[in-house]
Structure 1
């Protein structure tokens, strides 16, 4: 994606996509991050698990991008869940978006939540 943000993705059983990101989700990396994720949502499937478990830092631009992507995913007929680490969780809770962003503790928890629907 960018020098400060790297990631991989996989499509699982043509039902959902898992993105695993490392680095910084900040004002510098946000434009490319948002663009790449939107392209993958458009390519389908539009149900997304976004793992930020290895993210070192997220700023307000990163939080804004996550909110934008949840809405974009919903408009595409899908859902998005965000797997976090304590640092990311704390930042998200400061702005009271933990429920809106569907925070999860692990990819397995996010997958189990998908299977409930």
Structure 2
């Protein structure tokens, strides 16, 4: 991870939960994708990306999310993104909220996986 982006992950029930803090931008998007790719298991399971503590996201960050969503769609794996007001505003600006399965909070995201 770069200085501008910190991340962690954990198994949360039947899904992998990735949480990030900082900035998801052109400087950190490669590390963001590598971190997730390196920690995904060989067994396909739902991914939840928690961006509720992200300070800034730009088009490169959105591109990385789209790339992950496409991979998950191809594998038939559920993919959800949790965002704060700043992330939600940016995602809605480019009309990607449905494609990225944007969730209002972590509890809602995890609850929708159980359904």
Q: What TM-score does the superposition give when structure 1 sets the normalisation length?
A: 0.91
The alpha-carbon distance between structure 1 residues 109 and 75, as it changes in their structure 2 partners (threshold 3 A), is same
Partner in structure 2 of residue 48 of structure 1: 47
Q: Secondary structure at the match of 2:40?
A: helix
The alpha-carbon distance between structure 1 residues 41 and 72, as it changes in their structure 2 partners (threshold 3 A), is farther
Q: Deviations over 1:27-81 (max 9, x none)?
A: 0000111112123234444311110000000000000000000111222331110
Superposed CA RMSD in Å reads 1.3
Q: What TM-score does the superposition give when structure 2 sets the normalisation length?
A: 0.92
Partner in structure 2 of residue 38 of structure 1: 37
Q: Which runs of 4+ in 1 moved over 6 A?
A: none
Whole-Å separation in 2 of the counterparts to 1:53 and 1:2: 18
Which sections of structure 1, spanning at least 5 residues, go unmatched? none
Shift in Å, 1:8:
1.1
2:38 pairs with 1:68: no
